[in-house]
């Protein structure tokens, strides 16, 4: 099993997973590999490391898609038969574009973008990255230049946050409860009358933010535009549930994330979304070839002519063996839990994946056949 088989017939691949497991790396490799096979692929990356961005030709932060020159990979030995397009999600700009598209006049759009509440939401508030990521996905889905769109997801504690964050933000933007609260005749002002006013006033003096009036103004400006957001949110939900979309879980082989993986699969299924498999990244394969610590130390002592160094290296190797045993056990557990859904391990490499050579290293594991992968793992042993 490999990525092309997992993604057969799909137009969207969402790479989800908890923080730091390798979502951005995996997204880039999947997009590259599918483009190599002849597809026109767009990848939306989120906060890629500077060097990875440079490897994808994304020198400056850009919301726009740029085609990655195929020569870059040809030089490293991978022919890209299709097209690879990459972009970095810029939540603030995506949000601004959303407002521009939805506002009835440019003046209204301008007023919203100047509003402090808007600036907070579009910039920093949790959920805005997810909201804009799916929004961008939806936009590209409608663009028939692309056969496949690969979506990286923002760092989060749990893979499922990605699904919930846009809903939360949308609920806020719809803001019916809040709007009722803020109406001049609403409960809000009555409460202000009851003594919240001094507090709000003090807040305004200290922070310069006039919370109540900014919020009222913000929702006033948004007005019927919230219908546009709601419609888009509904369309995105449909897209995420469609046959065309596959969710790929990226995880590490540690106990917690492995336990969460089958929970994630179940949650997706409950939501009616298609889980297509898991990438178990930074996997430690057993490289001992069955040798125990004492024989490793003896062999090293003979080769290094430094018994102390040999002992230290042997100890390190034994520590690695403990990790490998844990990873192998967790992989077997995950495979049993997921039953028919495939699990693709990618080894822990000895350096970060920040350049073309690194991407190609991972590529071999995600795009090779089972037997090619076994040969690669055997190669790690030698
Ligand atoms: N198999 C691997 N071997 C060695 N290093 C790896 C491997 N996979 C990823 N890395 C490195 O681990 C770091 C985290 O990877 P990446 O940025 O892809 O994770 P992420 O899930 O996108 O993180 P975040 O949740 O912060 O967005 C990067 O420096 C990357 O180069
Ligand atoms: Mg990332």
Structural domains of the chain, with CATH: 3-95+130-163+238-287+329-381 (3.40.50.300)
Task: State the closest ligand 1 atom to the C-alpha of 153, by its place in the atom list counted from 1.
Answer: 27
Is the dihedral angle over the CA atoms 30, 31, 32, 38 positive or is it negative?
A: positive
- At 127-160, the pLDDT tens digits run 778 888 888 898 899 889 999 999 999 887 777 7
Q: What is the pLDDT of residues 331-343, one digit of tens each?
A: 999 999 988 889 9
Kindly state the tokens that stand for 34: 């599918």
Mutate to test the pocket of ligand 1, among 18, 24, 359 (most ligand atoms within 8 A of CB): 24
Q: What would the mean pLDDT of 57-74 be, rounded to a whole number?
A: 82
Please indicate whether residue 153, judged by its CB atom, sits closer than 6 Å to ligand 1.
no
| Dist CA 85 CA 63 (whole Å) | 12
Q: Which amino acid residue places its CA nearest to atom 29 of ligand 1?
A: 352
Closest atom of ligand 1 to 154 CA is 27
pLDDT in the model for residue 209: 61
Residue 22 Cβ inside 6 Å of ligand 1? The answer reads: yes
Q: Can you give 48-69 as a three-state secondary structure string? A: CCHHHHHHCCCCCCCCCCEECC
Which residue's structure tokens are 């040798």?
291
Tell how far the Cα of 353 is from the centroid of ligand 1, in angstroms.
7
Asked whether residue 73 carries a pLDDT value surpassing 80, the answer given is yes
pTM as predicted: 0.87
pLDDT tens-place string over residues 198-231: 666 665 666 566 667 777 788 888 887 878 878 8
Q: Are 344 and 277 in contact (CB under 8 A)?
A: yes
Decide whether any atom of ligand 1 lies within 6 Å of the 349 Cβ: yes
3-state secondary structure of 10: coil
Distance 352 CA to ligand 1 centre (A): 7
Give the span between the Cα atoms of 364 and 212, in whole angstroms. Answer: 56
Q: Which of 56, 3, 13, 32 is nearest to 354 (CA)?
A: 56
Q: What is the mean pLDDT of the chain?
A: 85
User: Is 24 near ligand 1, meaning CB less than 6 Å away?
Assistant: yes
Task: Identify any residues that bridge with 345 across adjacent strands, giving them in sequence order.
Answer: 280
DSSP category for residue 168: H
Among 25, 30, 159, 250, which is best to mutate for testing ligand 1, by the most ligand atoms less than 8 A from CB? 25
Any ligand 1 atom below 6 A from CB of 25 = yes
Query: For the segment 267-321, what is each residue's pLDDT rounded down to a tens digit?
Result: 999 989 999 999 999 999 988 777 788 888 888 888 888 888 888 888 888 888 8
Residue 88 in contact with residue 61, Cβ under 8 Å?
yes
Per-residue HEC secondary structure of 202-237 comes to HHHHHHCCCHHHHHHHHHHHHCCHHHHHHHHHHHHH
* pLDDT digit string, tens, across residues 80-123: 999 999 998 888 888 888 889 889 999 999 999 998 888 877 76
- Segments of the chain assigned E as strands: 12-16, 40-45, 66-67, 83-88, 148-152, 245-251, 275-283, 343-347
- Looking at residue 15, what is its pLDDT? 95
Adjacent-strand bridge partners of 175: none
Closest CA to 21 of 250, 260, 191, 237: 250
State phi, psi for 337 to the nearest 5 degrees.
-65, -40
From the CA of 155, give the closest atom in ligand 1. 25
Residue 364 three-state SS: helix
């Amino acid at each position: 099993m490999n990525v092309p088989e997992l993604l057969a017939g799909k137009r969207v691949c969402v790479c989800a997973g908890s923080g730091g497991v390798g979502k951005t790396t995996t997204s880039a490799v999947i997009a590259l590999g599918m483009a190599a096979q002849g597809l026109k692929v767009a990848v939306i990356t989120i906060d890629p490391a500077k060097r990875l961005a440079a490897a994808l030709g994304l020198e400056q932060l850009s919301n726009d898609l740029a085609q990655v020159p195929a020569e870059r990979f040809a030089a490293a030995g991978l022919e890209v038969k299709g097209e690879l397009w990459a972009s970095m999600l810029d939540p603030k700009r995506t949000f601004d574009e959303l407002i521009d598209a939805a506002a009835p006049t440019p003046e209204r759009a301008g007023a919203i973008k100047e509003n402090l509440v808007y600036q907070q939401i579009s910039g920093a508030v949790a959920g805005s990255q997810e909201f804009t990521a799916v929004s961008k996905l939806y936009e590209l889905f409608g663009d028939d230049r692309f056969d496949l769109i690969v979506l990286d997801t923002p760092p989060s504690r749990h893979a499922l946050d990605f699904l919930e964050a846009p809903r939360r933000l949308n609920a806020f933007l719809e803001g019916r409860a809040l709007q009722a609260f803020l109406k001049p005749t609403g409960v809000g002002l009555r409460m202000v009358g009851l003594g919240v006013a001094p507090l709000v006033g003090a807040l305004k003096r200290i922070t310069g933010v006039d919370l109540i009036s900014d919020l009222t103004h913000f929702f006033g400006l948004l007005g019927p535009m919230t219908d546009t957001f709601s419609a888009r949110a509904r369309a995105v939900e449909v897209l995420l549930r469609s046959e065309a979309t596959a969710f790929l879980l990226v995880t590490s082989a540690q106990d917690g994330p492995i336990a969460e993986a089958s929970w994630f699969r179940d949650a997706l299924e409950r939501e009616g979304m298609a889980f297509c498999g898991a990438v178990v990244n930074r996997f430690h394969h057993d490289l001992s070839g069955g040798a125990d610590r004492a024989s490793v130390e003896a062999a090293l002592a003979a080769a290094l002519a430094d018994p102390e160094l040999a002992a230290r290296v042997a100890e390190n190797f034994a520590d690695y063996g403990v990790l490998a045993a844990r990873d192998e056990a967790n992989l077997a557990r995950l495979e049993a839990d997921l039953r028919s859904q495939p699990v693709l391990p990618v080894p822990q490499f000895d350096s970060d994946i920040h350049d073309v050579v690194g991407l190609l290293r991972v590529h071999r594991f995600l795009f090779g056949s089972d037997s090619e992968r076994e040969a690669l793992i055997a190669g790690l042993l030698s």
